[in-house]
A and B are shown apart, each in its own frame.
Chain A
Amino acid sequence: MDRFLWSSGLLEMNETLVIQQRGVRLYDGDEKAKLDVGVVLLSTHRLIWRDLKNHECCMAIPLSQIIFFEEQAAGIGKSAKIVIHLHPASPNKDPGPYQSSKFSYIKLSFKEHGQIEFYRRLSEEMTQKRWERTPVSQPIPTGTGSQVTVMSAWWSICVWSVWESLHLTPLPTSVPSSQAFEDLSKLMEKAKEMVELSRSIASKIKEKQGDITEDETIRFKSYLLSMGIANPVTRETHGSGTHYHMQLARQLGDMLLAPLEERGGMMALTEVYCLVNRARGMELLSPEDLVNACKVFESLKLPLRLRVFDSGVMVVQLQSHSEEEMIASALDNVSEKGSLTSEEFAKLLGLSVLLAKERLLLAEKMGHLCRDDSVEGLRFYPNLF
């Protein structure tokens, strides 16, 4: 076990994942290693093991260190194992979980089976020795948790182990076809090039703002939108203010007038989201699309506004319903009834309880109402002070 190096578990540029198997325990020679059960991963270059629960506990051995390996059949109460014999560690090897070991072999114990396929793939890799033909461009990091930036081509292979460490519904063990995974990897390579290009453009824009026309800026934003890249210049998400969003804003301007009137001039953004997407049926809007479209209402002089309350609740409201009017009418309602809770106010106006509460809070903030906060609920009274 002293051949293992600490690793971040992230794959290198030319390194590909071959197979992974969960439910594997490591043995130092014949003795159980002082580790829990984890996931073992085989890449074209290394054998990697990661703890299921604590995915920062991750270690690897280069495949070149393997002399030979053999199967060890399962027995009564014993899982099947693969015994791997290793070359001695080099004296200046990077740190790992074990300083020294009296054994020159390790075992992988397959508590959830999978040893047959793993053995087959390991044999293939050891025969092909792909690591010799495609050396990794940089030394494989001995991860201490300081992570790699998004800019470099690290594929995350912690998908399943991170997933399982969240203790959510366990994934079935059938792997998507390796062809699909390979195609996906190649596609991501190309996507990564686009990300890099967009960042270099962004840095040029930052340097000389004046030399890019507004049209070109809008074009750039729409490219980012298509690719799903965050706008690196202004750090606003995903190209808000593109033609697409302006078009959307106009559509919303038409579509929401009647529903807003019916609901007292205000609707929560989540309600708008459901309304609009149910109506569309397909080619739905993303939450961000909706937010970005609402942000341009004002600049397009549409009669709607996006508004964010102190609580973080976001609403679309009719421009015609001014704040003073709303507060004044809230005060009227409360005075008339003596006092009101959010639920009562909501019923009165045909608003949702959430928005009714926001209006009362707003009136309170402006000093027109005061509250009585008890276990029976939050009740508002006219502020007589």
Chain B
Amino acid sequence: MHRRGVGAGAIAKKKLAEMSKQLETFKTHLEEFASKHKQEIRKNSQFRVQFQEMCATIGVDPLASGKGFWSEMLGVGDFYYELGVQIIEVCLALKHRNGGLITLDELHQRVLKGRGKFAQDVSQDDLVRAIKKLKAMGNGFGMIPVGGSYLVQSVPAELNMDHTVVLQLAEKKGYVTVSEIKESLKWETERAGHVLDHLLKEGLAWLDTQASGESQYWLPALFSELSSQDVTPEEANQMVP
């Protein structure tokens, strides 16, 4: 008879049918798990971390799609996708001031504030995971390690190692000078100037020529607490000569 039936195609069809069946079984298991632990996942950020890590280990992305089982039955999807919306909105609202760079701490505080008193708790790990998902939409969402934490970038400004290192240097005081860069990093004036110019152009740094002594390059992303009154775009433009 036909030997073709024994080919790889036939085996694939059989396995596909098997997978369909197993999928139904798995769905039941997940439903059972959800009925017992859905609340705990919603409330306990550590449990969420464990859950995410385990999924990653076995090669499953529970946040890939809102149509996925994990999202539908455990409700993890809506939690992170909504967080994504809130993150985008906060970043957009502050972009005119900080050029699209914000500390994870500030982002965390503002997101929490926006969510209101009765909303579910959100940890920094939750933010990090939501941001990772946002990367799929282009637009330069990224995280830069600075100090003990991160700066979240939400614009496609190109930031290489030189820029990052200067950001890290500025982290302690919120500003940096050419001399400080030359002394700490042992760079020439030209290299320091190049990096600072780029940061100015991208709107990530402001130049304060009124400072006593040397001009200071301020990074609004790093000194948000100082300006409790929000700076308007016009004021922001005035600071750059």
Contacts and interface: CB of A to CB of B under 8 A. Distances in A.
Contacts, number: 242
B71 interface: yes
A227 B23 contact: yes
B192 to A, nearest CB: 14
A373 B23 contact: no
Given A197-B18, A223-B20, A159 B81 contact: no
B68 to A, nearest CB: 5
Given A188-B55, A284-B81, A314 B33 contact: no
Contacts of A277: 81-82, 84-85
A274 to B, nearest CB: 5
A151 B53 CA distance: 15
B66 interface: yes
Given A184-B33, A378-B201, A228 B138 contact: no
Interface in B7-33: 7-13, 15-16, 18-20, 22-23, 25-26, 29-30, 33
Contact of A211 (B9, B47, B123, B128): B9
A287 B50 contact: no
B188 interface: no
A198 to B, nearest CB: 7
A291 B137 contact: yes
A90 interface: no
B88 interface: yes
A338 interface: no
Interface string A155-170: 1101110010001110
Interface in B147-195: 148-149, 155-156
B53 A273 contact: no
A375 B202 CA distance: 9
B133 to A, nearest CB: 5
Contacts of B58: 150, 153, 188, 191-192, 195
A223 B47 contact: no
Interface in A313-364: 313-314, 354
Contacts of B29: 187, 190
B12 A377 contact: no
A212 B140 CA distance: 39
Nearest to B138: A314
Contacts of A169: 123-124
A154 B57 contact: yes
A237 B133 CA distance: 12
B85 A278 contact: yes
A311 B18 CA distance: 44
Given A156-B54, A201-B19, A183 B85 contact: no
Interface in B52-82: 53-71, 77-78, 81-82
A168 B241 CA distance: 37
Contacts of A185: 54
Nearest to A272: B137
B120 interface: no
Interface of B: 7-13, 15-16, 18-20, 22-23, 25-26, 29-30, 33, 36-37, 40, 44-47, 49-51, 53-71, 77-78, 81-82, 84-85, 88-89, 104, 123-125, 128, 133-140, 148-149, 155-156, 197, 200-201, 207, 240-241
Interface of A: 150-151, 153-156, 158-160, 163, 167-169, 171-172, 174-177, 180-181, 183-185, 187-188, 190-195, 197-198, 200-201, 204-205, 207-208, 210-212, 216, 219-220, 223, 225-230, 237-239, 244, 268-270, 273-274, 277-278, 282-291, 308, 311-314, 354, 373, 375-378
